[in-house]
Structure 1
Amino acid sequence: MTMANARMSGGSAHGAHDHHGAQGRHPAQAAALQVSDYFVRIGCDPLTEAFERRSFSPPWRGSRPVDTEDVDAVFKRIFATPRQETAVAYVHVPFCQTRCLFCGFFQNAWRPEAGAAYVDDLLAELAIRSTTALVSSAPIDAVYIGGGTPSALAADDLVRLVEGLRHHLPLTSDCEITLEGRAFGFDLAKAAKVADVGVTRMSIGVQTFSTEVRRRLGRKLSGPEVQSFLTDLVALGRTAVVCDLIYGLPGHDGAEWCRDIEIVDQIGIDGVTLYALNTFPGGPLASAIEKGKLSPPATPGEQARAYADAVERLAALGWLQVSQSHLVRSVREFNRYNAAIKRGVTCLPFGAGAGGQAHGYRWRNVIEIAQRREMIAQHREPVEALALVPPDHAAHAMIAAGLEAGRLDLVAIEALRPGFRVAVAPLLANWAAAGLGELSGDGFKPNHAGAFWIGNLTSGLSAGLQSATQAESNACCGSV
C-alpha cells in the first residue's frame, strides 16, 4: 500500500482509508466538538507547539447508518439515480507482497495464483455497474487503482483491468488513470505495457531511500535499488511518475530526511507526497516500539520541522506546492483524483474493500473476497457501512479542500452553512495571531505551520460548523 490511502487524513501516513480500502465504520453519533478546544496559545512556536498532537477530522463524522434491512433497496436506488457532475473511480486491489510495519491496513498476503481470479471479479463488477444510471450518466475524469499493491498483479492481468476500465466506464479523453505500486516486483516491461493501454500516472510507495530504515520497516529493496527503478521509470517517459515519503520514521534522522529530499529532486520525478508517520495503537509498528525492537518515532514537533524543511527545500529547487502534502514540478502531474476526493465529489468504488460516495451516501464494498463472492452469488449487494453523510458534509468537504489547497473561502462555506463565519471568527483570529496563517479579506491562508496542523485546523472549523448548525436549530425552536 502506498500513501494515497492517507490523503483524506490530513497528511498522516495511513491515517484513514476513507475513500477507498478498509474504510472505517461510520459512527452513528458524532462526538460534540468545541471551538474553544482548538485555540492556540499566543507566543508558542506555531510550527512545533500549536497543539499537543495531530488530530483527524473524518468526513464521515456524524453519518447515520442505513438500517440493515434497507441496505439492498437503498443501494439499488443510489445506482439507479443519474448524476450530473463528473465523478472519479477507485479500484481496490487488496493484496500486499509484504506486511510493512508502518501500515495499519494489511488485509491479504499476495499470492500470484489469486491475481487472475480477482481481476475476473473486477471485470464482472465493472460490466454490471456500467449499465446503471449512476455510472453511465456523466463522465469520469480520474481513476485510481490502489491497494494493497496493484503493481503486484501480472502484466497481462493489469492490461485486462485497464482495458476493462476503458471499455466499461465513461472516461473522459484525458482521464487520469493512476496505478499505485512499489518498486519490488515491478519492472519497466510491465510499466510499458500498462502505459500502452492507458495508465497515465504511476504512484510508487518509497517512504525513504535509507536502506537501513527500509529494512527495519519490512521493505524488500535497498534505497539505491528503489532510486534506480524510479530513475528508469522516469526515463521511460510514458507516464507521470510520483512517489511518497514518510517523515518521523523510527531511526530516521534529519540528515537522512534531507538526503531523501535531495534524491527525489535528482531523480526527476513529476511529483512527491510528504506524509507524517501515524502509529496505530496495537499495530505492528507500535508493538515493535513497545518491545524495544525499534526506537521511538519522531515527536509531533520533530515531524513539524521535517515537514517545513522539506517543503522549503523543494520550493527553493523549483517545486510547486499544490496541496498540504503534495508538490509538483512538471505540467505532467495533475494530482486530479486526490484533489477531487478532497472536494467530496462522487467516487465510484470497485473491488473488495473499496469505499465510495454518491447522492448523499457513503459505503464500503465488503472487504473479505470469499464473503463478497458468496453475497454476489446470493444476489445480495456486497456492501457494508452504508450511511447517510452528515448534513454539513458539503461544507466540511469545502473546508478540507480549501485548507488542502491553501486558501479557505469563508464566503462559500457561509453560503452552505449560515452562521459559520460568526462561529469561527474568534478561532481564525486566534490562529492568525498565533502564527498559523493569515486572514485576508474573505479567506484564511495557512502557512507552513498551519499546513502541518491541517487536521487540527479542520477539526476546529468542523466544530464551528456544529456550532452554527446548533445555533440555527435553537433559533428555529425558539421561533415555534
Structure 2
Amino acid sequence: MNDRTGSLTPAVTSDPLRYAFTARRPVMPRQDKQAVSETEIPRRWAALEQQSPAAGKRLAYINIPFCRANCLYCGFYRHRSGAPRLNRYVDLLIEEIRRDAALPLVGDRPIHAVYLGGGTPSDLPAGDLQRLLAAVRECLPLAADCEITLEARIAGLTEEKIRAAFAGGVNRISVGVQSFDTRVRRRQGRVAAAQEVVERLVLLAGHDQGAVIADLMFGLPDQDLASWHRDLDSCQELGLDGLDTYALKLIPGTPLQKLVERGCIEQPAGLPEQAEFYAEAVEALSTAGWRQISNSHWARTPRERNLYNLLIKSGAETLAFGAGAGGSREPYTFANTPDMEAYERAVAAGDKPVAMMRVSDALQPLRDTLMGGVEIGRLELPALRACMPMSVQADPSPWRLVDRWVEAGLAERRGEQIHLTVAGRFWAPNLVTGFQEVCAQALESGRKAHADG
C-alpha cells in the first residue's frame, strides 16, 4: 500500500487531525465508471428511460445554472442571471419535466427528496419559481414527506420569492452564507453585508414554514479562528435549523485560484490550518447541542434531515432536469448537456438532452455502501463485506487498511462497526479513495489469478 502522493495511506502521527495525510483527494459519488461513447448514448438512454423505477428511495435534481455574479472560489458558474433568459429557461425545464413524467423511468414510485441547485435557484423571479414548483408537484410522484430544497443566496432573496418558495412546497432553504464577516464575504465576490445576511435569515426563520440552513466555509483568505468562532456563534444566535461547514477547495480555473497563483491574494489556509477550523466547529456545535448528521452537516432541530445529500452519497436513484443536471440509474450515471443552445434544441425537439453517460463496474455497490457509511461516520462491516465480490472479500488488503485507520487515530473499532474520529471525518475523502483503490487492486488481482488458473 505504498502511496507516492501521500493521500491514500495515513501516517501514524501524534497529531492525526493535522498530519495524517499530506494531501487531500476529493471524491465524488459514483466515480470510476466507464464512459459510454457519444454515438452509443441515444440507444442506451432510449432503453433506460423505458425501465420502471428500481426499489429504494429516489431523488430528483433540478439545475438552475444562472448567477448574478461569479464568486471567486466557485467552479459552477455558467450564465449570468437575467429575467428574460430565466423565464425561457423555466419554460424548457417544465417541458422536460412533463416529457419525462410520462416515461416508465419516472413511474409512480415515490421521490423522497427534490433539490433545486445551481447556480443560484433563488435568482428565479417569483412567478417563474412558483410555476416551476407547481410543475414538479403536478408531474412527479413526490412522497408525502418529500424534502424539497431550494439553494439560495442573500442577494435577491426577497419576501416575494420566499413566499413563492414556501407556497410552492419548498420545505428546506439552504443559504450560501460562507461567512458573516463582511470583509471576508466581499473579498470572495459576495454582495450582501453581514447585517443584511442576518436580517434575511431572521426573515426566513420567521416564516416558520421549513428548515433554514446556512452554508459556512472555512479556510477563506482573511479568515482566522476568531472570525470563524463568530460565524459559528451567529448561526447559534439566529436559531437556524441546520448548518453546513465546508473547507475551501482551491479549484483549478476559478478566479480565486488564478488570483492566488498570480500573488494578488494570499495563499488560503493549508490543510493543517483547515483541520483546526474543522475541529473548532465540531467542539463548538457539539457543546451547543447540535447533532452531527454527516461529516460536514449539523442539525439543531428535528426539522432538518439533510435527506438529499445523505441519499445521493449512498447511491440513490436520481432523476435529472435542466442544462448540466446529473442523475443516476444503476448501472448508469448521466448528465444533460451544459450547453444552453444544445439543451434548448433537444427539449424543443422532444428529446432528453443527455450528453454524458457512464456505466459502473462490479465494485459500485461497495462504493455506494462505503460512501454512505463514511458520510455518517460509521461503517457497518457486515454490510461492506456483503457488497464485495468474493475475491475482494478474501484479500487481506482492505482490512489491513482499516486497521491502519485505527492505528493512525482516524477510526475506532467497536465490534463489527468502524466509527470515525474527528480526524477521520476531516480526512474522510482520503479514507474513501484509499479503500476504493485497495479494493480495485484486489479485484484485479483476483481476475488475474482466475485467468492464470
Q: Structure 1 length as normaliser, TM-score?
A: 0.90
Letter in 2 for 1:297: P
Q: CA deviation at 1:296?
A: 1.3
Q: 2:408 aligns with which of 420, 434, 439?
A: 434
Q: CA deviation at 1:378?
A: 4.8
Q: CA deviation at 1:44?
A: 3.6
Letter in 2 for 1:462: Q
Determine the structure 2 residue equivalent to 1:134: 105
Q: 1:407 aligns with which of 365, 378, 386?
A: 378
Question: Do residues 423 (structure 1) and 394 (structure 2) align?
Answer: no
Determine the structure 2 residue equivalent to 1:46: 16
Map 1:24-423; keep pairs closer than 5 Å: 38-85=8-55, 86-378=57-349, 380-417=351-388, 418=390, 419-420=392-393, 422-423=396-397
Distance 1:439 1:287 in 2: 43
Determine the structure 2 residue equivalent to 1:462: 436
Distance 1:53 1:437 in 2: 19
Determine the structure 2 residue equivalent to 1:474: 448
| Alignment check: 8 A CA contact 2:116 2:151 kept | yes
Q: Deviations over 1:361-383 (max 9, x none)?
A: 01110111111112344555411
Q: Structure 2 length as normaliser, TM-score?
A: 0.95
Q: CA deviation at 1:406?
A: 1.2
Letter in 1 for 2:9: F
Q: CA deviation at 1:327?
A: 0.4
Letter in 2 for 1:312: E
Q: CA deviation at 1:60?
A: 3.9
| Alignment check: 8 A CA contact 1:35 1:424 kept | no
Distance 1:185 1:450 in 2: 38
Q: Deviations over 1:226-257 (max 9, x none)?
A: 01110121111111100110000011111100
Structure 1 residues 48 and 356 mapped into 2: Cα distance closer, same or farther (>3 Å)? same
Distance 2:428 2:85 in 1: 39
Structure 1 vs Structure 2: percent identity of aligned residues? 36
Distance 2:66 2:201 in 1: 22
| Alignment check: 8 A CA contact 1:35 1:460 kept | no
Q: What SS does structure 2 have at the residue aligned with 1:225?
A: helix
Structure 1 residues 102 and 50 mapped into 2: Cα distance closer, same or farther (>3 Å)? same
Q: Deviations over 1:354-400 (max 9, x none)?
A: 00000310111011111111234455541112111232111111111
| Alignment check: 8 A CA contact 2:68 2:81 kept | yes
Distance 2:443 2:7 in 1: 18
Letter in 2 for 1:463: E
Distance 2:253 2:59 in 1: 34
Q: CA deviation at 1:43?
A: 2.8
Q: What SS does structure 1 have at the residue aligned with 2:192?
A: coil
Distance 2:6 2:165 in 1: 51
After superposing the two structures, state which structure 1 stretch, 459-468 or 125-134, moved more. 459-468
Q: Deviations over 1:295-352 (max 9, x none)?
A: 2100100000100111110010010001000000101011111111011010000000
Q: What SS does structure 2 have at the residue aligned with 1:38?
A: coil
Structure 1 residues 164 and 203 mapped into 2: Cα distance closer, same or farther (>3 Å)? same
Q: What SS does structure 2 have at the residue aligned with 1:183?
A: coil
| Alignment check: 8 A CA contact 1:72 1:380 kept | no
| Alignment check: 8 A CA contact 1:94 1:147 kept | yes
Letter in 1 for 2:97: L
Letter in 2 for 1:131: A
Determine the structure 2 residue equivalent to 1:449: 423
Q: Deviations over 1:396-432 (max 9, x none)?
A: 1111110111111221111111334732222111221
Q: What SS does structure 2 have at the residue aligned with 1:133?
A: coil
Distance 1:319 1:262 in 2: 12
| Alignment check: 8 A CA contact 1:78 1:359 kept | no
Q: CA deviation at 1:76?
A: 1.2
Q: CA deviation at 1:84?
A: 3.1
| Alignment check: 8 A CA contact 1:84 1:137 kept | no
Q: What SS does structure 2 have at the residue aligned with 1:206?
A: strand
Letter in 1 for 2:411: G
Distance 2:375 2:323 in 1: 29
| Alignment check: 8 A CA contact 2:247 2:274 kept | yes
Letter in 1 for 2:397: A
Distance 1:62 1:110 in 2: 34
Q: CA deviation at 1:36?
A: 9.4
- Paired residues, number: 448
Q: CA deviation at 1:175?
A: 0.7
Q: Which has the higher contact order (CA 8 A, sep 6+)?
A: 1
Distance 1:189 1:358 in 2: 36
Q: CA deviation at 1:58?
A: 3.4
After superposing the two structures, state which structure 1 stretch, 370-379 or 357-366, moved more. 370-379
Q: 5+ unaligned residues in a row in structure 1: which ranges?
A: 1-31
Structure 1 residues 392 and 121 mapped into 2: Cα distance closer, same or farther (>3 Å)? same
Q: CA deviation at 1:101?
A: 0.2
Q: What SS does structure 1 have at the residue aligned with 2:74?
A: coil
| Alignment check: 8 A CA contact 2:221 2:269 kept | yes
